Copies of this chain bind each other. A is one copy, B any other.
Amino acid sequence: MATPRRTRRGRRPGTSDTREAIAEAARRCFAEVGYDRASIRVVADQAGVDPALVMHFFGSKQKLFVSVMSLPFEPEDVLPALVTGRSSQAGARLARFIVGVLEQPQPRTVFTGMVRSAAAEPEVADLVRDVVSSRMIGAIATGLAVADAPLRASLVASQIIGVIMARYVIRIEPLASLTPDALVEALSPNLQRYLTGPLPVVPGPEPAHEAGAL
């Protein structure tokens, strides 16, 4: 792999390839060893470039993380349609989409990297919370269009984060070796309940006195 010298603002052939090679190496490092142990030096080594070039392109480890951990899809474009209308198929559609994303190597490294890094460092947990809350949960809540949509979406997030940890990070069996189709089938009714089933009534501006039926 080429090891271009540090450039000064001017564009030249190969710059975007080099940036992408660094981003790809960083994505892999964060996913494999977590935020704390992923160093600029190791990322540079794996990309075959000088560490100074990583700093040139990204500025700091935290900025590198935020930059490369961008979501492999636009939540606002995809998620509302999956859950809209409180359809009885919403859980199955969402499960199929999420498992489909997680079963592809590169998108999976983004999500495992986000979850592992959130567990390692409070500042990164803040970043991940913002992404999950404002984008993922916001998009699901938009599709649901009900008063308790944020609670529903955050419960969905808890199950998906749990699958990422249990299946892909800790690798608990037999969940870890379940086929993707069986995983979709296992998850669908549970996501469906979070999306459209009865939930506890959580006090809002007006105190609620009735609990949702179980």
Residues of chain A having any CB pair with chain B under 8 Å:
34, 36-37, 92, 115-116, 118-121, 125, 128-129, 132-133, 137, 150-151, 154-155, 157-163, 165-167, 169-175, 178-179, 181-182, 185-186, 188-190, 193-194, 197, 199-200, 202, 211-212, 214
Report copies per complex: 2
20 A-B contacts (beta carbon < 8 Å): A34-B121, A37-B120, A116-B120, A125-B171, A132-B172, A133-B172, A133-B173, A154-B173, A157-B172, A159-B162, A161-B162, A161-B165, A161-B166, A174-B202, A178-B202, A185-B199, A185-B200, A185-B214, A186-B194, A188-B214
Verify A150–B163 contact, CB threshold 8 A.
no
The contact of A120 among B120, B154, B162, B214, by CB within 8 Å, is B120
Bound-state Cα–Cα, A207 to B30, Å: 38
Chain B CB within 10 Å — which of A118, A132, A160, A211 has the most? A118
With CB as the reference atom, state the residue of chain B lying closest to A194. B190
In the A-B complex, the 7 residue pairs with the smallest Cβ-Cβ separation, listed nearest first, are A162-B162, A119-B119, A154-B175, A158-B166, A182-B200, A185-B200, A158-B162
Residues of B within 8 A of A199 (CB): 185-186
Residues of B within 8 A of A34 (CB): 36, 119-121
Verify A154–B172 contact, CB threshold 8 A.
yes
Q: Give the secondary structure class of A's interface.
A: helix
Residues of B within 8 A of A161 (CB): 162, 165-166, 170
Query: What is the distance, in angstroms, from A140's C-beta to the closest C-beta of chain B?
Result: 12
Decide: A175 near B190, CB < 8 A? Known: A34-B120, A120-B120: no
Verify A154–B166 contact, CB threshold 8 A.
yes
Decide: A125 near B170, CB < 8 A? Known: A120-B36, A151-B175, A200-B181: yes
Verify A173–B194 contact, CB threshold 8 A.
no
